[in-house]
Amino acid sequence: MFDFQSAEEIMKRCHQTQLITSKGYPCENHYVTTEDGFILNLQRIPHGKRNTDKEGKTTKPVVLVQHGLLASSTCFLENLANESLGFILADAGMDVWLGNSRGNFYSRKHKTLKPSDKEFWAWSWDEMAKYDMPANIEYILGLTGAKQITYIGHSQGTEMAFARLSEDAELNKMINLFVALAPVANVGNIKGPVKVFAPYSKDIEAFFDTLGIFEFLPDTKVNQWLAKNFCDKEIPEFLCENVLFLLCGFDYKETNMSRVPVYVGHNPAGTSVQNILHYAQSVNSGLFQKFDYGSAEENMRHYNQTTPPLYDVKKIETPIALFTGPEDWLADPTDVSKLRPLLKNIIYDKDIPEWNHLDFIWGMNAPQACYKDIISLIGRIQQ
């Protein structure tokens, strides 16, 4: 069922550049420091196998691809080269940059803080949107000399963009196209464990705080309990005990089972407890809003108002392409239907039958059903 190549690649979990170079592609590691001191890891695939142009400046389309919740840049590299979005974009003649959000395996450094510090984990996707996304884009534009980039986000990667673009008019001008794979904003109708636990988010926060746990990377016992109570009985037990599949669901029809050991070996890649709590808050409120600090006084201190501010996606000017799936647990069709009419510049909108949340990154038919459309859209926007 599982091939030896997959088993070998699991061992490369902490060396994501080897996932690129082992397939014959060039790779550069870059490090970006955010305004609040986090040091983010970016991987660059400057060209594909057939294009040997190695110049730093580029006239090719420049693309930043941003992963989702609990993932890392490797999720766009974990299938075979002709099935993985990162490699497909490079072979299509693009300058490809792969982001890593704060707190995952590859972005665990800070100018003054250590992962053992509570303050290191005091953030959610709010801060990813406010600091990580613009820092990466400004760095890429500065290095390549490009005037604009294409931004491709999956899941939380789309949420970061919806949030930041609703507040930053200048960043809208830096992005010629925002491709939203499994778009997430308001999440009042999501399915799975987060939906079940959301009403108890304050108790869960107090529990983690009492134990001094601020990084969300559940141990085996937690995963086993979640698997027993929430996992489909037809799914293999070792998959059920992986929190990413527990939260997002699993699609047998679209999954190459010989690659599953690679997925499990690289995921989950980690995030903060506060980030998970922010999702739970969003489920409870049904609103696309900033993190609630739990009291009018604390919210006033952070926001100068007693309740968390709402993000107004109607302010987004950047052209947007939506790719959705009717079986998506996290980007639920009901939530997407509420988001869609608020976006005033949708230039493409495709719902892929039977797809779920992870099919956009690992689906066997993703190159035909999704990625070729993305390449076509990028080509059109460059003209």
User: Region 355-376: what's the mean pLDDT?
Assistant: 97
C-alpha span between 151 and 30 (Å, rounded): 18
198 DSSP assignment: G
Residues near 228 by Cβ (< 8 Å), separated by ≥ 6?
A: none
User: Region 300-313: what's the mean pLDDT?
Assistant: 98
Q: pLDDT tens for residues 35-63? A: 999 999 999 999 998 776 655 555 799 99
Which class for 347: exposed (0-12), middle (13-18), buried (19 or more C-beta within 10 A)?
Answer: middle
pLDDT of residue 148: 98
pLDDT of residue 11: 40
> Of 247-256, 297-306, 335-344, which range is least confident?
247-256
Mean pLDDT is highest, among 49-58, 217-226, 253-262, 320-329, for 320-329
100 and 108 Cβ atoms separated by less than 8 Å = no
CATH fold group of domain 4-382: Rossmann fold (3.40.50)
Residues near 121 by Cβ (< 8 Å), separated by ≥ 6?
A: 103, 115, 214, 215, 272, 273, 274
Q: Return the active site residues.
A: 155, 328, 357
Tell me the domain boundaries of the chain: 4-382
* Of residues 36, 178, 10, the one with CA closest to residue 103: 36
C-alpha span between 133 and 361 (Å, rounded): 20
What sign results for the dihedral spanned by CA atoms 24, 268, 351, 227? Answer: positive
CA dist 323 → 47, 92, 184, 206 (Å): 25, 20, 11, 37
289 DSSP assignment: B
Q: Which two tokens stand for residue 378?
A: 């990028």
C-alpha span between 266 and 72 (Å, rounded): 8
pLDDT-above-90 percentage for the chain: 70
State pTM to two decimals: 0.91
pLDDT of residue 14: 41
> Of 69-83, 155-169, 188-202, 315-329, which range is least confident?
188-202
pLDDT of residue 382: 86
